[in-house]
Amino acid sequence: MPLTTVAADIDRLRRTFDSGKTRSYEWRISQLEALLRMLDDQETRFVDALAGDMHRSEVEAITADLAVVRNDTTDAIKHLKKWMKPEPTKKPAVLGIGAKVEVIHEPLGVALIIGAWNYPIMLTLGPLVGAIAAGCCAVLKPSELSKASAVAIERSVAEYLDPDAFAVVQGSIPETTEILEQRYDHVFFTGSPAVGRIVMAAAAKHLTPVTLELGGKSPAIVAADADLAVAAKRITQGKFFNAGQTCIGVDYVMVEEAVAQELTDLVVAEVKNFYGEDPKTSIDFARIINAGNFDRLVALIAGEEIALGGENDSDQLYIAPTVLVGVDPQAPVMMEEIFGPLLPILTVANIDEAIAIVHEGEKPLALYVFSKDKAIQEEVINQTSSGGACINDTLTHLAMPEAPFGGVGESGIGQYHGYDGYLTFTHRRTVVKRTTKIDPDVRYPPYGPVKGKIAEKLA
Ligand code: NAD
> Which residue type, as a one-letter code, is found at position 358?
V
- Measured in angstroms, how far is the CA atom of residue 117 from the centroid of ligand 1? 7
Task: State how far Cα 269 lies from the chain centre.
Answer: 31
Q: Is the pLDDT of residue 48 over 70?
A: yes
136 has catalytic annotation: no
Q: Which residues neighbour 438 within 8 Å (Cβ) at sequence distance 6 or greater?
A: 96, 97, 98
pLDDT of residue 330: 92
Residue 296 has pLDDT above 80, yes or no: yes
Please, which residues bridge with residue 113 across strands?
A: 140, 188
- Mean pLDDT score of the chain, rounded to an integer? 96
- The CA-atom distances, in angstroms, between 371 and each of 225, 226, 307, 377, 393 are 6, 4, 24, 6, 10
Residues whose beta carbon lies within 6 Å of some atom of ligand 1:
114-118, 123, 141, 143-144, 172-173, 176-177, 190-192, 195, 198, 213-215, 247, 337, 339, 365, 407, 412
Q: What is the pLDDT of residue 1?
A: 54
213 is catalytic: yes
pLDDT-derived band at 4, boundaries 50, 70, 90: low
For the chain, give me the number of helices (H) and strands (E)? 16, 20
Q: For the residues 217-242, what does the mean pLDDT come to?
A: 98
Q: To which H or E segment does residue 49 belong? A: helix 43-54
Identify residue 437 by its one-letter amino acid code: K
* Alpha-carbon torsion (372, 373, 379, 382), positive or negative: positive
Between CA 222 and CA 350 the distance in angstroms is 10
Over residues 281-298, mean pLDDT: 97
Position 3 scores a pLDDT of: 54
Neighbours of 17 (CB within 10 A): 22
Distance 346 CA to ligand 1 centre (A): 28
CA distance 341 to 299: 13
- Angle at the Cα of 273 from the Cα atoms of 269 and 279, rounded to 5 degrees: 100
422-446: average pLDDT: 92
Flag whether the pTM goes above 0.85: yes
Strand 426-433 to 100-107 pairing? antiparallel
User: Which residue from 190, 252, 367, 400 has its CB within 8 A of the most atoms of ligand 1, so it is best to mutate?
Assistant: 190
